[in-house]
Structure 1
Amino acid sequence: MVTLSPGMLLIADPFLKDPNFSRTVILLCEHEEKGSFGFVINRLFDQQLDALIPDVLRTNIPVYYGGPVQVDTIHFVHQQPELIRGGVEIIPGIYWGGEFDNVVELLNNGTLDLNKIKFFIGYSGWTTGQLEEELKEKSWIPSSSSPSLVFEPQEQQIWQLSLKHLGSNFAMMANFPIDPSLN
């Protein structure tokens, strides 16, 4: 069994049927005995940040569907700790959260590099032992992450790239049909 830790990726099995997680990749931000949480990094939400947060004046900032839990909350991961106060480093080069007022100010004055920050509505969460059970059921393929995968600008390619990152045995899974019975 793989030891889970913050910063890992959870790659949805090609045949995972749950519509919240089909062909998704989750960045695990916290994993403790009491539970785990992370963000789906490859599913765009249908609204942009300025539509959700009126204080954000800059337009065309994408928001990702972080998961089905608390979809009335905004979260973020970034690579700009020198600018964003209060973030927590989850692996080298990737930080989770920080002072949101600080982020809004930096967005509005154009200081932040939008290629180095990702916003999420909601999150993905698991109670005690739930994620371990899903791993036993092979719903998820755990993997190491990298800033280049997490902040890949072509979000529709992240699932395939994550599988290919694991080597040739997994790379062929990237081309599996969603429903093999239709093949």
Structure 2
Amino acid sequence: MDQPRLTGRLLVATPMLDDPNFRRSVVFVIDDDADEGTLGVIVNRPSDLPVTDVLADWGCYASEPGVMFAGGPVGTGAGLALGEPGGDDAPLGWRPLANPVAGSSVARLGTIDLDTPPEILGGALGRLRVFAGYAGWSEGQVAEEIGEGAWYVLPATADDVFSTDPDALWARVLRRQGGDLALVSTFPDDPTLN
């Protein structure tokens, strides 16, 4: 059976995933291609580094908290940005996600070309988040990890990507699912202290 496309969904780390790169992470999937693999960014790992310190001209457009986010362990020396247009038009330098989940609020999200002059694009954005690095999986790798129980595949909202309280996002996303996943949201960070 084919794995459903993950673009525009969240990969939420299960408590059993103890890889320090992904422990308690919430990954927003930007692109999922059966032949090329999966690309996403961790949306709940803010750094202490203001966007202004790295991309001075973009700092005033970054959504709160206006810091760089650790998007994942791959390509940490490069920046990747997600944005949501402030109006109905697709601004120059903004590219929509390819085939996101239909009808969801993430359908208005897209990637930002940080080489576009910020004075042209920045004002056309309602929200902007900048990531250092990304999470990437080769063809079939993420499906295998999901099958092993490392990830919950859950619906995403634009507010997840631009959360003003990213440290609480893992528990909040699980809690809103209800049932067993709401119970998982209470799983202690260190089970040995329970």
Asked if these proteins are the same fold (TM beyond 0.5), I'd say: yes
| Mapping for residues 128-147 of structure 1, pairs under 5 Å | 128-147=139-158
Shift in Å, 1:102 = 3.1
1:65 to 45, 67, 70: 70
In 2 relative to 1, CA 97–103 (structure 1 residues): closer, same or farther, beyond 3 Å? farther
Whether the 8 Å contact between 1:20 and 1:68 is mirrored in structure 2 is: yes
Paired residues, number: 180
Q: Tell me which moved more, 122-131 or 46-55.
A: 46-55
The answer as to whether partners of 2:21 and 2:73 remain within 8 angstroms in 1 is: yes
Q: How does 1:151-170 map to 2 (within 5 A)?
A: 151-170=162-181
> What whole-Å deviation, never above 9, does each CA across 1:10-69 have from its counterpart, x for those lacking one?
001123211111111000111112211100001002312121224446497211110000
More moved, 168-177 vs 119-128? 168-177
Partner of 1:181: 192
Alignment of 1:29-178 (within 5 A): 29-33=30-34, 34-56=36-58, 58=60, 61-80=66-85, 82-90=90-98, 91=100, 92-102=106-116, 104-105=118-119, 111=123, 116-178=127-189
Question: Match of 1:88, as an amino acid?
Answer: P
CA distance in 1, matches of 2:42, 2:7: 14
1:67 and 1:37 map into 2 onto residues whose CA distance is 10
- In structure 2, the residue matched to 1:16 is 17
- Does the aligned pair in 1 maintain the 2:71–2:135 contact within 8 Å? yes
- Please give the alpha-carbon distance, in whole angstroms, between the structure 1 residues aligned to 2:138 and 2:76: 18
- Secondary structure of 2:130's counterpart equals strand
Query: Within 1, Cα distance between the matches of 2:123 and 2:158?
Result: 20
Q: Please identify which structure carries the higher strand content.
A: 2
Q: 1:178, CA displacement in angstroms?
A: 2.5
Q: Deviations over 1:102-131 (max 9, x none)?
A: 363258xx72667x2111000000012111
- Which digits, 9 at most, give the CA deviation of each residue in 1:87-110, with x for residues without a partner? 123534442323323363258xx7
Q: 1:161 to 1:144 in 2, by over 3 A?
A: same
Q: Using structure 1 for the length normalisation, give the TM-score.
A: 0.85
TM norm structure 2: 0.81
Cα RMSD for the two superposed structures: 2.4
For residues 127-177 of structure 1, what are the alpha-carbon distances to aligned partners after superposition, in whole Å with 9 as ceiling and x for unaligned? 121111111111100011111222221111211111022222201111101
